[in-house]
Structure 1
Amino acid sequence: MEVDALTDVDGGLNLTDGHARLDLSPQQAAVIARLPEMFAVATRRSFPSIETAAHRAFLDAIGQHSAPVGSGRILSCYSSTLSTDIVARALPAGATVAVLHPTFDNIADLFVTRGLKLVPLSEEALLRQEWPGAPVDAIVVTNPNNPTGLVTPEGHLRSLAEHAVRHGQTVIIDASFRGQVRDAQYDTYAVLDAAGADWIVIEDTGKLWPTHELKIGLLAYSERTRLPIERAFSESLLAASPVVLQLIEALAADWVDGGYERARDLVQRNRDAVREAIGSVGLRLADPESQISVARVALPVDGPDSSLLYKELLERGVHVLPCAPFHWADPESGLRFIRLSLARPHATVASAARTLADAYRELSAAA
């Protein structure tokens, strides 16, 4: 569905993927203007020094001061999806993995493709701190969660880490949306290390800045892990681009110099526009407190479901995502939700939200 939206020859409104598809701010445009300089630096400066500086700038910008920068245990990938696939290949064949439910569907897809056995960990169980035991070998938590925006509180992560130590499990955190949410920016690495956990953390820059896929997925892992992560990494790529790493370093500097607030204001303005448009037809946001750049619309059980609404919106030139795939262990439970990306220009989001409201009104009247 996301590919269809990107390749729509008629230029439909694309509110599918969570990547930042925004206009550059003046500050970001000034960074982009320095790309020729970054190419020149990449030819005369060592890759390790460029990579370390980018890791330090980005991770400090999102509160991760205890991340193992400079230790060799943070690998730079060209996407967080590749990072996830590397982790899936590094885990033992046939391992049983508990994965948050619902969550971004490609996590489950990649793990299943690599021959892992999945069991769901519900958000409710996470909030109750009910962690799975044997035969689970690893526990995967998306923090903040996509698509719900749920943030795993620091105390809950500590509880999970301590549980995993007692049961010989690996904790895997997908923190791709962390940069958007201050509440999720407590020092995860400090919590995990203090518990003595075996951990893997995936970070992502692609959700923050409109750099047209010039992004980095960071794959960090604990000193305790015995998984062949470096081997799996080297099977997939040699290195990320030193130019993109410099770009990330510069954009991280802007993020702490007002960039975060500017992006947050736009996302909130877009969320408000969606709330207002859908409210006119009696719909509501499923996750009103979410702070990430996607929003789920809850659909009543007595009205059209998200698969039907999705098809109607396609006819009207609007691409959104029905949520059944996010409910990877129980797709039926996702039929009452549809997701819109908020990381778009305000006019795009407002127009798509009005179209969604109109389509829902007409489908409901025809039922």
Structure 2
Amino acid sequence: MEVDALSDVDGGLNLTDGHARLDLSTEQAAIVARLPEMFTTATRRSFPSIETAAHRAFLDAIGQHTAPVGTGRILSCYSSTLATDIVARALPAGATIAVLHPTFDNIADLFTTRGLKLVPLSEEAMLDQSWPGAPVQAIVLTHPNNPTGLVTPEGHLRSLAEHAVEHGQTVIIDASFRGQVRDAQYDTYAVLDAAGADWITIEDTGKLWPMHELKIGLLAYSERTDLPLERAFSESLLAASPVVLQLVEALASDWVNGGYERARDLVERNRAAVREAIEPAGLRLADPTSQISVARIGLPQNGPDSSLLYKDMRERGVHVLPCAPFHWADPDGGLRLIRLSLARPFETVQTAAQTLVRAYRELAAAN
């Protein structure tokens, strides 16, 4: 569905993926203008020094001050999706892993494709600190969760880490949206290391800045892991671009000097526009306290479901996502939910929300 939106030859509005598809701010445009300088630097400065500086700047900008920068235990990938696939290949063949449910469906898809057995860990079970035991060998959290925006509280992560140590499990965290949410930026590396856990963390820059896929996914891992992550990494790529790493370093500096606030203000303005558009039609935001750059809309039981609404909106030139795929272990659980990306220009989000309301009302009336 996301590919269809990107390749729409008629130029429809794309509110599917969570990537930042925005106009550059004045500050970001000034950074992009320095790309020729970054290319020159990439030929004159060692890759390790460029990579370490980028890791330090980015991870400090999102509160991860004890991440293992400079130790060799952070691998720079082209994307967080590639990092996830590397983890999936490094885990023992046929292993049973618990994955948060619902969550972004390509996480489950990648692990399943690599022959792993998945069991769902509901958000309710996570909040109750009800952690799975054997035969589960790894527990996967998305922090904050996509599409719900749920943040794993620090105490809950500590509880999970202690449980994982006791049961010989690996804690895997997909933190792709962490940079958008201050509440998610407590130092998870410190929590996991203090418990003595075996952990893997995936970070992402693609959700923060409108860089048209010039992004980095970071794959970090603990001293305790014996999984062949470096081998799986080297099977997939040689290195990420030193130019993109410099771009990340510069954008991270802007992020802590007003960039975060500018981005958050736009996302919240867009969320408010969606809320104002849908409420007169009897629709609601499913996650009113979410702070990430997507919004789920709940649909009443007596109206059209999200699969019908998705198809109708496509015909109207607006691409959104029905939520059944996010409920990877129970697709019917997502039939009454539809997701819009908020990392778009205000006018795009406002138009899409208004179109959704018209489509919903007309489908409901036809039924």
TM-score, normalised with respect to structure 1: 1.00
Q: Distance in 1 between matches of 2:228 and 2:335?
A: 38
Give the drift of 1:356.
Answer: 0.1
Does the alignment pair 1:89 with 2:89?
yes
Which residue pairs with 2:123 in the alignment?
Answer: 123
SS across alignment from 2:136: coil
Does the alignment pair 1:137 with 2:137?
yes
Give the drift of 1:38.
Answer: 0.0
Amino acid at match of 2:134: A
Give the drift of 1:130.
Answer: 0.2
SS across alignment from 1:97: strand
SS across alignment from 2:281: coil
Q: Distance in 1 between matches of 2:201 and 2:314?
A: 36
Which residue pairs with 1:321 in the alignment?
Answer: 321
SS across alignment from 2:276: helix
Unpaired runs of 5+ residues, structure 1, are: none
Which residue pairs with 1:38 in the alignment?
Answer: 38
SS across alignment from 1:313: helix
Q: Distance in 2 between matches of 1:302 and 1:152?
A: 33
Which residue pairs with 1:304 in the alignment?
Answer: 304
Give the drift of 1:185.
Answer: 0.1
Which residue pairs with 1:249 in the alignment?
Answer: 249
Which residue pairs with 1:174 in the alignment?
Answer: 174
Q: Distance in 2 between matches of 1:363 and 1:164?
A: 48
Amino acid at match of 2:278: I
Q: Distance in 2 between matches of 1:161 and 1:245?
A: 31
Give the drift of 1:153.
Answer: 0.3
Which residue pairs with 1:212 in the alignment?
Answer: 212
Which residue pairs with 2:267 in the alignment?
Answer: 267
Amino acid at match of 2:361: R
Which residue pairs with 1:112 in the alignment?
Answer: 112
Q: Distance in 1 between matches of 2:117 and 2:299?
A: 31
Q: Distance in 1 between matches of 2:119 and 2:302?
A: 30
Point out 4+ residue stretches in structure 1 off by more than 3 angstroms: none
SS across alignment from 1:137: strand
Q: Can you list the C-alpha shifts for 1:221-278, whole angstroms capped at 9, x where unaligned?
A: 0000000000000000000000000000000000000000000000000000000111
Give the drift of 1:146.
Answer: 0.1
Which residue pairs with 2:234 in the alignment?
Answer: 234
Which residue pairs with 1:99 in the alignment?
Answer: 99
Q: Distance in 2 between matches of 1:248 and 1:49?
A: 14
Does the alignment pair 1:340 with 2:340?
yes
Which residue pairs with 1:188 in the alignment?
Answer: 188
Amino acid at match of 2:133: G
TM-score, normalised with respect to structure 2: 1.00
SS across alignment from 2:100: strand
Q: Distance in 2 between matches of 1:205 and 1:91?
A: 24
Amino acid at match of 2:348: T
Amino acid at match of 2:299: L
Q: Can you list the C-alpha shifts for 1:153-197, whole angstroms capped at 9, x where unaligned?
A: 000000000000000000000000000000000000000000000
Q: Distance in 2 between matches of 1:33 and 1:240?
A: 21
Which residue pairs with 1:199 in the alignment?
Answer: 199
Unpaired runs of 5+ residues, structure 2, are: none
Which residue pairs with 2:352 in the alignment?
Answer: 352
Q: Distance in 1 between matches of 2:81 and 2:195?
A: 27
Which residue pairs with 1:25 in the alignment?
Answer: 25
SS across alignment from 1:363: helix
Amino acid at match of 2:319: H
Q: Distance in 2 between matches of 1:308 and 1:103?
A: 21
Amino acid at match of 1:280: P
Does the alignment pair 1:77 with 2:77?
yes
Q: Give the CA RMSD over aligned residues.
A: 0.3
Give the drift of 1:280.
Answer: 1.7
Which residue pairs with 2:7 in the alignment?
Answer: 7
SS across alignment from 1:110: helix
Which residue pairs with 1:155 in the alignment?
Answer: 155
Amino acid at match of 2:7: T
SS across alignment from 1:280: helix
Amino acid at match of 1:286: A
Which residue pairs with 1:290 in the alignment?
Answer: 290
Query: Identity, % of aligned pairs?
Result: 86
Amino acid at match of 2:266: L
Give the drift of 1:109.
Answer: 0.2
* Number of positions where the alignment pairs a residue of Structure 1 with one of Structure 2: 367
Q: Distance in 2 between matches of 1:209 and 1:67?
A: 22
Amino acid at match of 1:212: H
Q: Distance in 2 between matches of 1:280 and 1:270?
A: 17
Q: Distance in 1 between matches of 2:334 and 2:231?
A: 37
Q: Distance in 2 between matches of 1:237 and 1:137?
A: 27
Q: Distance in 1 between matches of 2:317 and 2:231?
A: 44
For 1:43-54, list aligned pairs within 5 A: 43-54=43-54
